[in-house]
Structure 1
Amino acid sequence: MTQANYLRFAVPLASAMLLAACGGGSDPAPAATPAPPPVQAPLPQPGNPAPLPPVMSQPVEIIIPPPMPDIVISLPGEALKSDRVVAGITVEPFVQRARETTCGQYSNRLFVANKKYVFSAAEGTCASTVEKYVLYGKTADEKLCSFTMDDLRRAVKRGCTDPALYPLMDNMVSMQVRGETVREGALLEEIRFLPKEGTRLPFYSLARNAHSGVEGARQQVIRDAATLASLWSGPVNKDISPVNFDTEMVIAVFGGNTSACGKFAIRAVRSAGAGLVVEYGQDTVPVGTVCTLAINTPMELVVVDRIDTPVTFTQVAPQAVAFRGLEESNAQTYGDPQRLIIKDAQAWAALWKQHIQLTALPEIDFSKQMVVAAFAGGKAYGGYGIGIGGIERLGGKLRVSVIESAPGRYNRALFTTSLTSPVSFVVLERSDEAVEFVEQMSLYR
């Protein structure tokens, strides 16, 4: 790359990092962070009975500068404090308890209720002995009510020390289904907190576009509607309601001019230290992959629960592994969540017969291929799904990203009450490498 081109990326980036350090009203947008380069990778092996996805024509070598340092967007004066007091209640003991819950994959929230209680609401795939809804007094040792439900939303156990609290508790549980904060004499004020270290935040995609037209790479945290409108006026997901910036925020990443070879996306928004880390970037395609001459300007906007902490953007360039979907629907059984690797025909036939009775068994050549299966488990109503979002090679092992979709904060009351059991199967080239499953929640809006 020429010196002039290098300066074209480096100078705006340095300016953006200075702006980020200064703070301000809306989070500043760092400019021009070049995307990591795709590299060439082998063509899929010929002769497979079920070939993996084909590659494009017109090979070309594309030289892109290396990733620049991580961008940190700080929020001076708004970091979450350990001595916070809301309505006379010191909330840190409740926050610490919520951070350690084993039930909270879908949501994990705390509220001050009616200025004198603390209400904890956790949703996820949990044992039937785990409390999902708890009403406390002004200390974490003063437990007034607790409701325990199984994965099919049936009440396994419910109780209150004072029977007069049952109507309030029932009302607040119902409010979680509708995303309400005021209803029938109940007022909920949310307590924002960072999830446990390493937790991946659930998110939904507000907009994704491979041809955004925005040629400069940039990353931004958006916490108000005016900033969102000024940043992106292109198409968004038409099935969603407007972002509620009282409880949500938008993470925006623009890739700038980059190769069309490889998928660009936000990979994760996770808790780390005193803030959040956003992992984003473009796949590094396998060596030998043939790409087109096209140049894209990709972007993605995602919505997460609002947490007023510093956000670090870090580029990643995973080596993508090709795979092909076999089935992504509902199983006929309602068992527990599972993540499986199948490498022989006998185990494959038994698994299919147990869970997918109404469809013919797909033929797999297990001398060359293997199957990855992901089961979400039984769900009490519609709106849940599961899929394999990507498979990548990292440090001598295969990392499988399992994306489970679920109703979000503002639409959980909109789905049917029929039982479902989402399942996904994919086939890929056989490998003896260790397999690691990484879970990501994707919320419907």
Structure 2
Amino acid sequence: MNKRIFGAVPALLALLLAGCGGGGDAKDVQIASQKENVPVPQALDTAAFIKLAQGETCADQKNRLWLIDGKQVFWDRASARCPDNSYSRKLFGATPDALLCSTSDSIAGPQTSCANDTARALFDTVQKNLEAPNLGLDASHKVEPIPFQYNGPVLGTAMPFTTLAKESNSAITRSLNVVIRDQSSFAQLWADNYANNSVVPPMPAVDFSQNMVIGVFLGDSSVACGGVAIVDVLATKTKVTVDYERRHAPPDTACIAVVEHQMHLVTVARSDAPVEFVAHDANAVPVKLIDFVGNSGVQNAREVVVKDAASWAALWSEHAGKDKALPAVDFSKQMVVGVFLGPVMSCESLRLDGATNDGKQIRVSYTHMLPPMGVMCIATVAYPSQLFVIDRSDLPVVFTKETMRPGQLGH
């Protein structure tokens, strides 16, 4: 009761003073009211940015939000599933509608714009230092990750695949994409593929009640000094999409004129949905190996890209220990890429299959090598890893992992 009385006194007193001509006239009251209603800066809506990121379909490789200085949000996402929208980096003000700067992939190539030129310098620094501490900004800026749960894109679920054969001299000389869901068809394809061999390799066992075989044969359209590789298999309720690369040698490579018929054959979980094949061309990226060990100090599965000296020193210390000399890397021209398998049995290993650049992203492909069927492993744990250097690039880096057993065909 008392609170209501005291709260009403200032308003009552103001009315009395106005009526008596004291304390100022009506104009003064209006000015005071206007000052009290001066707009304040809009509060940053973190929930709206999280909703935006969670609803993004092209973010299967990266989907990260950062809060900068409590007033701006930076969003970095990347996808291996959206050929014309494979990456995007955006700097916002307080809401998703307040877009300050952006750079992204498109059907017309990379597109960059800034609606607010005052934000351009900060944006350029951040997008070039995505893996650096504080996003490459100096100590005058505060950068905080915005945590959120991302349940994956609605475009499809990635289907792990195992290579059955990867060859450059298939006897199948026509361009062919195959989907096989029964044993007799697989047996015929296997025989056709090795029709020129004096000895046909043993046909891998496939349980067609649970799995299916998909394959790509380039035939006479095989690329010189290159190859073909299935890099992604995605499943939805309505279809399965097989993404494969036609891999070319680097542009300056002199190729020997040898006729090849390249192919890649894999097995994945069975689906009765229609299968669509999508092809991309990519050039091989030169790779320089730094370290290849079976027992890394990094003991969790990890795929990393390092673009600055501080992050490289920290990773190397974790991987090799503080006593092993840090390999020199010129981060003005190079970047480090690493793959860590995490804990596996000692008879399993890691194989780097190479890196490619399709102009929109850099893809690093590697294989988890399993022991041959029936081979007993010593019950010890290993932590295989590979670290290597490639030319520095601002393109997003995506990773493709496959599995293979010795005795299966491949290179």
Q: Give TM-score, length-normalised by structure 2.
A: 0.51
Answer yes or no: is the 8 Å Cα contact 2:219–2:262 preserved in 1.
yes
2:207 maps to what in 1? Answer: 244
Structure 2 CA distance for partners of 1:314 and 1:344, relative to 1, 3 Å: closer
Matched, 1:417 2:379: yes
Distance 2:284 2:373 in 1: 33
Matched, 1:302 2:266: yes
Letter in 1 for 2:336: V
- The Cα shift of 1:210 comes to 0.4
Distance 1:419 1:425 in 2: 20
- The Cα shift of 1:413 comes to 9.0
Match of 2:219 among 245, 249, 256: 256
Q: Structure 1: where are the runs of 5+ without partners? A: 1-194
Answer yes or no: is the 8 Å Cα contact 2:156–2:236 preserved in 1.
yes
SS in 1 for 2:187: helix
Answer yes or no: is the 8 Å Cα contact 2:163–2:264 preserved in 1.
yes
Letter in 1 for 2:380: S
1:400 maps to what in 2? Answer: 363
Letter in 2 for 1:421: Y
- The Cα shift of 1:383 comes to 5.2
Match of 1:216 among 174, 179, 184: 174
Answer yes or no: is the 8 Å Cα contact 1:376–1:404 preserved in 2.
no
Bigger relative contact order (CA 8 A; separation at least 6): 1
Answer yes or no: is the 8 Å Cα contact 1:259–1:294 preserved in 2.
no
The aligned runs of 1:134-149 (5 Å cut-off) are none
1:437 maps to what in 2? Answer: 398
- The Cα shift of 1:198 comes to 2.8
Distance 1:423 1:237 in 2: 34
Distance 1:278 1:405 in 2: 20
The aligned runs of 1:384-395 (5 Å cut-off) are 384-395=348-359
Distance 2:377 2:154 in 1: 30
- The Cα shift of 1:443 comes to 4.9
Structure 2 CA distance for partners of 1:293 and 1:252, relative to 1, 3 Å: same
Answer yes or no: is the 8 Å Cα contact 2:164–2:204 preserved in 1.
no
- The Cα shift of 1:217 comes to 1.0
2:388 maps to what in 1? Answer: 426
Distance 1:347 1:429 in 2: 17
Structure 2 CA distance for partners of 1:330 and 1:314, relative to 1, 3 Å: same
Cα deviation, 1:96-151, whole Å, max 9, x if unaligned, reads xxxxxxxxxxxxxxxxxxxxxxxxxxxxxxxxxxxxxxxxxxxxxxxxxxxxxxxx
Q: Structure 2: where are the runs of 5+ without partners? A: 1-152
1:375 maps to what in 2? Answer: 340
Letter in 1 for 2:173: E
Answer yes or no: is the 8 Å Cα contact 1:388–1:424 preserved in 2.
yes
Match of 1:329 among 293, 297, 301: 293
2:51 maps to what in 1? Answer: none
Cα deviation, 1:195-239, whole Å, max 9, x if unaligned, reads 974332112111221011321111111122221221222279969
Structure 2 CA distance for partners of 1:331 and 1:343, relative to 1, 3 Å: farther
2:46 maps to what in 1? Answer: none
2:156 maps to what in 1? Answer: 198
Distance 2:154 2:211 in 1: 19
Cα deviation, 1:287-337, whole Å, max 9, x if unaligned, reads 333222222111221111222221112222123322233333333425333
Distance 1:228 1:217 in 2: 17
Distance 2:203 2:292 in 1: 23
Letter in 1 for 2:337: V
Higher Rg of the two aligned structures: 2
1:293 maps to what in 2? Answer: 257
Answer yes or no: is the 8 Å Cα contact 2:303–2:399 preserved in 1.
no
Answer yes or no: is the 8 Å Cα contact 2:187–2:203 preserved in 1.
no
Matched, 1:232 2:232: no
- The Cα shift of 1:256 comes to 0.6
Distance 1:237 1:356 in 2: 44
Match of 2:277 among 310, 313, 316: 313
- The Cα shift of 1:359 comes to 6.6
Structure 2 CA distance for partners of 1:196 and 1:417, relative to 1, 3 Å: farther
Structure 2 CA distance for partners of 1:314 and 1:332, relative to 1, 3 Å: closer
Answer yes or no: is the 8 Å Cα contact 2:162–2:268 preserved in 1.
yes
Letter in 1 for 2:251: V
Distance 1:287 1:420 in 2: 38
Distance 1:322 1:214 in 2: 30
Answer yes or no: is the 8 Å Cα contact 1:388–1:402 preserved in 2.
yes
Distance 2:293 2:201 in 1: 24
SS in 2 for 1:348: helix
Answer yes or no: is the 8 Å Cα contact 1:333–1:355 preserved in 2.
yes
SS in 2 for 1:232: helix
Letter in 2 for 1:275: K
